[in-house]
Amino acid sequence: MTTFNVADDKHNHLHMLVTESSNPALAELDAIETLERLHLMNAEDIAVAHAVQKELPQIAMAIHRIVHSFRTGGRLIYVGAGTSGRLGVLDASECPPTFGTDPDLVTAIIAGGRDAMFQAIEGAEDNPDGGVEALIEADVSKHDTVIGISASGQAPYVYGALEHSAAVGACTVALVNNRPCKLEKIASITIAPIVGPEVIAGSTRMKAGTAAKMVLNLLSTNAMIEFGKTYGNLMVDVRATNSKLKARAQRITMDVTGVSEDEAARALSESEGNAKLAILVLETGLPVEKAADLLRENSGFLRRALQQHDRAIHFD
């Protein structure tokens, strides 16, 4: 059982958190006309990107650890509560259709469970043992990377999850908006875009949430690039599960190879909708089975597979 003291570490210290403080420049916010208020809020949002920029070295470190997890059979696991938890679920859920990954490769745990995605279950974040239990149930191991998302940097549920993950040898990352904070004491890597007081004091679904979404985009997208899920800036591993994605797979195949719409459609059909495989077939002239073997030999990296084939032709 974790030793996190909710009373001491969460409620008593809220006034010390920058995300809970009030911006005196916005004290008359409710008396300002709409357009002026929008300009003020937009100006606050612009500063979020700069806060994230300062954390790029730490983000790069986390990406390298995530990729290492993928290559050693591990996973990326997000853990959060409230807005932070929902953002983790959002990012994880978008990886399979975008990058063709197994749903278990990137997963998310939110305090309060599935119901917390659709309605606030605020008390769930106060239970550190709930975080421990969730990670035990997820069978977290030393091969995984666990990212705890908490604007305050001290959500007990997230603390419990990271504490347990660290104990089993997993790489632990804290994504927070306050420093110093409790989570950074147990995290291997801390990513802390400090966005300052919220426009509505304490409403961390605003700037803090925007910062977290930006960081999660950077983490998952770059990890997928380095795991061979793109070719250039094209999502060649897109999973064509609906008409929009089928059209995207066909367009990507045409863009890379320069073939006609009919030729791309035929290659995709032979490749069971796999754009990466269809491109390799069209670019090399190999049968589908041999092209698939070539991709496997190159760990799914399309560029490497094409380069290997070109070297083989040149050598011959």
- Collect all residues with Cβ–Cβ distance below 8 Å to 172 and sequence separation of at least 6: 145, 146, 147, 148, 162, 165, 166, 186, 187, 188, 189
DSSP 34: H
Can you list the pairs that 28-35 forms with residues at least 24 positions away whose Cβ atoms lie under 8 Å?
A: 29/199, 29/200
Burial class of 286 by CB neighbour count within 10 A (0 to 12, 13 to 18, 19+): middle
Burial class of 313 by CB neighbour count within 10 A (0 to 12, 13 to 18, 19+): exposed
CB count, 10 Å around CB of 283? Answer: 18
- Collect all residues with Cβ–Cβ distance below 8 Å to 129 and sequence separation of at least 6: 1, 2, 160
Question: Strands (DSSP E) along 133-204, which ranges?
Answer: 145-150, 171-176, 189-191
Q: Is 94 annotated in the active site?
A: yes
Q: Is 261 annotated in the active site?
A: no
Which candidate, 37, 72, 88, 312, places its Cα nearest to that of 199? 37
Are 304 and 298 within 8 A, CB to CB? Answer: yes
Catalytic residue among 94, 133, 263, 270: 94
Tokens of 63: 């990406």
Tokens 């083989």 sit at which residue?
Answer: 312
Catalytic residue among 44, 125, 163, 184: 125
Q: What is 264-275 written as a DSSP string?
A: HHHHHHHTTT-H
Catalytic site positions: 94, 125
